[in-house]
Structure 1
């Protein structure tokens, strides 16, 4: 099958949607499909061979974050050329409501088109303002996917229609085989907890974690807080009490290999995110690597953690409750072992080997639904035209 995948977000900056797109493309290629990905990127950005640059992106604030998008007539022309040259059996656009190349692809494509919605934002002004304007284009969608119930509810509320839920995927074995790094491992006297995310993006929750550290240190004076991710560590720690600064070990941006090793090394992985999360892919990654997970009780996180069965939760934006749960888990190694075991089992339900097959079924359904009766069944099954 010839598959075109479109991401609205720049490949110059790592992010959850692009990670999803990249992993999906690579697994489809491994299965023997021909895949081309179109996404914003500078012309000199190193890209995988299957990614086509749609042009330089500009930063745009959206959903509590800053997204790098590209739009305009030059980009539209690139999108049209990519679609024409690709002769795709199906085009898969991610976040088609976002004013970037996904929206432009939806305008231009003529054929089976599948959309995946990642965003969870029930109060989205963008969706409210653009929903009616984009309705004619959205009617071109042959099938819709939402990565979670939260994302599905956002779609049904603002855009109408429905979507099948297919979660984000993880290559579980890449994390399950990670070896701990001795310098990151904790001891009974010096346990380690870890955070990974964009440090200066408020909704990732690092300020909540830092406000909880003094109470943790009172109970566990030797506690080490490993903080990984992009951002200015001096600004992050500015104004923090000296004991908090001393407890924090700033690792900066780390490689995918070290991300897995960080999860495998820590006594607890902390996800203090405050909102705007439709899924929780990082929770799956941490569980895949064998880390006991403690996360804020966002709806998306609770669902990933199977109602709290495979991971612990604390009250969102409540540093005192976060500190209490950290200390409770550190005092209960048997509970941590149980959570690590159950989390690892749960993670396999999100492996790309499972998720990709569900997506392929949607592709097949979209092709069958779109193809006019006079077109051969071989084309409708993704064969040569």
Structure 2
């Protein structure tokens, strides 16, 4: 099957949507499909062989963050050329309601379109205001996917229609097979030979408040008061000095900033930590990092966002604390770090639960949607063909 996938956000800026599209494309390629991805990117940005640049991305405030989107005359021209040259059997657009390539592709495309909605935002005034502009494009979509029930709800309430829920996918075995890294390992029961006790992990953009690092930093003094041998490992881009501004000076060496890490090192980090903390404060429709952490066997402690609670099976596959409550975060983290049996239980439950998010399952569900819309388009074309020939014959006879 010839499949075109449209990424709305700049390829070189890490994010759940980009990772999902990358992994989906590579999964489909492994299955033998022809796949092309169109994405905003600077022309000098290295892209995988299956990806094509639609031009430079522009930073735009979007859904509580700053998204780097592709729009404008150059992008529109590249979208038209890519759609025409690709002659795709199915076009898969991600975030078609965002002011980016997906919307441009909707306007251009004529064949079957599948759209995936990632955003969870119950009060999006921008989406409501833009509906008259979006409606003609959205009416061309053949099938809709939402990555969670909360993304589906945002779609239904703001744009109408409905969607099948298919979660983001993860290569579970990639994380499960990763080797822990010696310098990131600690010991929950007592400090190791290097004086390291338990390690807590955080992965996310440091300078994006909704990722919740300020909440974790606020909880850290209490955690370190009872477990002075604990360390916090932080992976992600941002201002490291600003991140620890609120910490007493003597505690700052207990925070280790790793900067941007490769996928391999992210997996090794998640395999190494005693507890992964996701203190995100809002704007999450899924929670791919939770799935990655569970895949690596890391016990998870997360804020009780609706999307996170769903990913963690209502708290069965990981523990939850009240959103933005640093005291509750600290108390729960300390309880878990003093209870190796509970940590092991969370590891086992998470490892079982996470299998439903593996690409072997998620990819099959997405392919089923592709096949449905492609078969539907073929049936319509076949039914329409006799009518067109009859009309032409009548015109000739007339």
State the TM-score, normalizing by the size of structure 1. 0.96
Contact 2:54 2:74 in 1 (8 A): no
Higher mean alpha-carbon deviation, 243-252 vs 136-145, is at 243-252
1:56 corresponds to: 56
2:27 corresponds to: 27
* Runs of 4+ residues over 4 Å off in structure 1: none
1:85 corresponds to: 85
1:131 corresponds to: 131
1:321 corresponds to: 328
Does 2:187 match 1:191? no
**CA offset at residue 372 of structure 1?**
4.9
1:1-16 to 2 correspondences below 5 Å = 1-16=1-16
Does 2:220 match 1:210? no
Contact 1:178 1:264 in 2 (8 A): yes
1:111-260 to 2 correspondences below 5 Å = 111-187=111-187, 188-189=190-191, 190-260=197-267
Structure-1 separation of matches of 2:272 and 2:245: 27
Q: Pick the aligned partner of 1:281 from 276, 288, 311.
A: 288
1:299-310 to 2 correspondences below 5 Å = 299-310=306-317
2:392 corresponds to: none
Task: Report Cα offsets for 1:329-359 as digits up to 9, x if no partner.
Answer: 0111000001001101111110011101100
Given the superposition, is the C-alpha separation of residues 210 and 374 from structure 1 closer, same or farther in structure 2, using an over 3 Å criterion? closer
Cα RMSD, aligned residues only: 1.3
1:365 corresponds to: 372
Gap regions ≥5 residues in structure 1: 377-385
**Larger Rg belongs to:** 2
Structure-1 separation of matches of 2:130 and 2:372: 28
Given the superposition, is the C-alpha separation of residues 314 and 260 from structure 1 closer, same or farther in structure 2, using an over 3 Å criterion? same
Task: Report Cα offsets for 1:256-284 as digits up to 9, x if no partner.
Answer: 11111111111100000000000011001
Structure-2 separation of matches of 1:165 and 1:361: 13
**CA offset at residue 135 of structure 1?**
0.9
Structure-1 separation of matches of 2:137 and 2:277: 40
Contact 1:64 1:203 in 2 (8 A): yes
Gap regions ≥5 residues in structure 2: 192-196, 384-398
Structure-2 separation of matches of 1:244 and 1:375: 70
1:37 corresponds to: 37
**CA offset at residue 71 of structure 1?**
0.8
**CA offset at residue 201 of structure 1?**
0.3
Contact 1:57 1:68 in 2 (8 A): yes
Structure-2 separation of matches of 1:20 and 1:239: 34
What SS class does the counterpart of residue 115 from structure 1 fall into?
strand
Given the superposition, is the C-alpha separation of residues 373 and 107 from structure 1 closer, same or farther in structure 2, using an over 3 Å criterion? closer
1:291 corresponds to: 298
